[in-house]
Structure 1
Amino acid sequence: MIEEFNRLSIVPILSDVSEGTDRLSVLPDDLILKIFSFVSSKDAVKTSVLSPRWRYAWTSVRHLSFSSDDFSTMAKFSNFVTLVLCRRSKQAQLSSVNLYLRRNDVQDVPQRIMNYAFFLNVQHVNFTCLSNKYILFPLSLSLASTWELSSLTTLHLDRIILYDGFFSKFPNLESLTLIHCNMMKSKVLRICHPRLSNLSLDNGDYLSKTTNVVTPQLKSLNITNISNSYLISAPELVSFLFQDSCPFTFSRRSSPFKFLTDGFHSLENAQLSLRYLDNSDAPNIISLLEKLHNVKVLSLSMEIIKLLNASVELISHQPSPFAQLKSFKILPKVVCVWNHEHARFIMSMEVQNYFLNSFPKATLTVYAI
């Protein structure tokens, strides 16, 4: 709503140009740069014809936005990028760079833009490339030693091949999201960072068979779509989400998943939302639950409870590990649109005792379908 208001608020000013009144020339620099934040770099350059005051205003733009869709050929796109980077004011602060490519013949354009942005220690970079091939990131390994963004705190990568030691280039990284990412020439995805506090992983392509995480300051960990093996060292972890969202995540794994950790001593909230299970997963589900023994709020999918009901012999003679549990929630079963069967939920007494015996005052909440 605010952005739309800002767009509309300049319309009366622009309309006065046709009446012979040059009100554009008296606009303050901050307002001009605010206007540029809503348009692409190509449109920003076009504003140079509006008035003498705006002729060079675009050279101080704080947000660079390049899209190959705005040009008929990559040659024209490359020439425009060269123009913007060469004529941009050296004194202007660069806050963000947005790069969108829909072509395979990207040439050296992404590399030049990234080099320029990283040289100026940019705060935010959004690089989207629609290609049928994986992209090696950084784009050129020869530049790996020169890429270090000390101010970068948030990084989101989708379908990127990384090299070992990549995350050391971002010493102040706090939030990291990896979607369908893999390590170059390895089936082990390694994430080691001393300051990382939020981590989201989506291993939906299952190329990384093993994920190793060493993050001493990690507070929040979200894992979506399960690979075969996890080794997690995150002693300060507070929130943990472990879920599979793909119908074939478990069926295409080569073996039941394994989850190893040196302990989650600060864990307060955990949610396990696993749907596609069979009896072979029961021992590892129980092993994972035992690693969450310090949790205060625990949420489990109904499918996990169903699996435990069928495997009560594995827990019936074990004491409840959840001495700190205050709230136990059972999430509703996800029913496919083509399957309208609503089975009545029943939790065996053995399963209920396993979760609640150590803390009988804990509340039990069942979310019905």
Structure 2
Amino acid sequence: MPSELVFCHPDGGIYGLQFPMSNSISQLDISTMKELSNFVNLLSRHKNLSSIDLEFHRKGDVRAQRIINHAFSLNVQQLTIACLFKKNKKYSHDERVAFPLSLSGSKTLEHLSLRGSCGLFDEEIVLTSAQRFSSLTTLLLHSITLYDGFLSMCPNLKNLTLFSYRMTGSPVLRISHPQLSNLTLEKGECFTHTVNGGRFHVSAPELASLHFFGFCPQMFTTGDGFPCLENAHLSFHSRLECISGSYAPTIVNLLQQFRNVKHLTLSMEIIERLNSSEELISHRPCPLANLKSLTLLPEVATFVQHKHTRVIMSPEVQKYLLSSSPKATLTEVLTLI
């Protein structure tokens, strides 16, 4: 059983190193550059490390970047990094303060989790550059600003999760990964400084599961569709631009890619948009020929308080979604716990 060697430091705040051959838990303080050097040397002596967890609570000058760079050089298979930096008191809550982070590549890393924090008094973690991660199959970015082209440094991804993310350098988030099987996109309102849902282009012919939670995207296009997609979850916020029927074409075009989906979950906002845009679907055949279950979720809670909690699906919309799969079950969830 792997155990965990714990490192704590009031400035750097580092913890969590798993040593497969160790059976004890110890603790070290790292408060000087000399102790940092000793820490790095200690890591270097453990050639069989498979997993490292690092957590930083303050920047500590160059220490955070230096430790992260060294962690990538150790040829581990799994690396979890949390950079939970608070703003200096001289900054107000509405001023953006960025901590630039560069990721050196790895030929052995298979699982990478990188987490920032998104509070009003937290610094923003911004990826500025990265080298190639040729073996990386699982990537999770939480409260991170990524630059256009970063995902292309991870060509062999199978599992990708982006949560509370922001994008720089391009108005379009491009995901082009031939082996990608599971894709989760949540709370992309950090995508831009406005409240729209951004633009997406996803080319993933092996995608089996898609989970999208956030503002309705302005654009969501695919390469050759999703021929392997079996599970799809779409939950859109009902707010400002998303109230407009102009987003209905995006929804309809996305549903047309779900020909092989077996289990589909839609939020009530999507049904509401389809109800008000029946002209878009009245002459279209139902794309869901393999559907086994359709689940309808209540409206997503946002800053806007809604007077109604339920949307009645019109006969035209029900025909569009279910006519090709008469045996599919329909479940309506009235409240989310």
TM-score, L = length of structure 1:
0.68
Aligned-pair distance for 1:299? 0.8
Counterpart check, 1:221 vs 2:183 = yes
Aligned-pair distance for 1:334? 3.9
Say which is worse superposed, 124-133 or 283-292, in terms of deviation: 124-133
Aligned to 1:137: 101
User: 1:274 aligns to what SS in structure 2?
Assistant: strand
RMSD value, Cα? 3.4
Aligned pair count reads: 293
Q: Identify unmatched segments of 5+ residues in structure 2.
A: 10-18, 88-96, 117-124, 189-196
User: 2:259 aligns to what SS in structure 1?
Assistant: coil
Give yes or no for contact 1:135–1:161 (8 Å, CA) kept in 2.
yes
Aligned to 2:48: 93
Which residues in structure 2 correspond to 1:200-239 (within 5 Å)? Answer: 200-205=161-166, 207=168, 209-226=171-188, 227-239=197-209
Measure the CA separation in 2 of the matches of 1:221 and 1:83.
40
CA, structure 1 residues 329+86, in 2 after alignment: closer, same or farther (shift >3 Å)?
closer
Give yes or no for contact 2:146–2:167 (8 Å, CA) kept in 1.
no
Aligned-pair distance for 1:363? 1.6
Aligned-pair distance for 1:230? 0.7
Which residues in structure 2 correspond to 1:193-342 (within 5 Å)? Answer: 193-205=154-166, 207=168, 209-226=171-188, 227-244=197-214, 249=215, 257-261=218-222, 262-276=224-238, 277-278=242-243, 279-334=245-300, 339=305, 341-342=307-308
Aligned match for 1:151, one of 97, 100, 108: 108
Give yes or no for contact 2:198–2:218 (8 Å, CA) kept in 1.
yes
Measure the CA separation in 2 of the matches of 1:173 and 1:126.
13
CA, structure 1 residues 232+353, in 2 after alignment: closer, same or farther (shift >3 Å)?
same
Give yes or no for contact 2:81–2:113 (8 Å, CA) kept in 1.
no
Aligned to 2:144: 181
Q: Identify unmatched segments of 5+ residues in structure 1.
A: 1-29, 43-57, 140-146, 251-255
Give yes or no for contact 2:265–2:296 (8 Å, CA) kept in 1.
yes
Superposed CA offset, 1:166-221 (max 9, x none): 3x62211111112343445x5x7644644211011235446563100111011101
Aligned to 2:80: 126
CA, structure 1 residues 86+333, in 2 after alignment: closer, same or farther (shift >3 Å)?
closer
Aligned to 2:126: 161
Taking only the aligned residue pairs, the percentage that are identical comes to 38
Give yes or no for contact 1:66–1:100 (8 Å, CA) kept in 2.
no
Measure the CA separation in 2 of the matches of 1:148 and 1:64.
29
Give yes or no for contact 2:144–2:165 (8 Å, CA) kept in 1.
no
Structure number with greater Rg is 1
Aligned-pair distance for 1:345? 3.5
CA, structure 1 residues 65+175, in 2 after alignment: closer, same or farther (shift >3 Å)?
farther
Give yes or no for contact 2:146–2:165 (8 Å, CA) kept in 1.
no
CA, structure 1 residues 362+150, in 2 after alignment: closer, same or farther (shift >3 Å)?
same
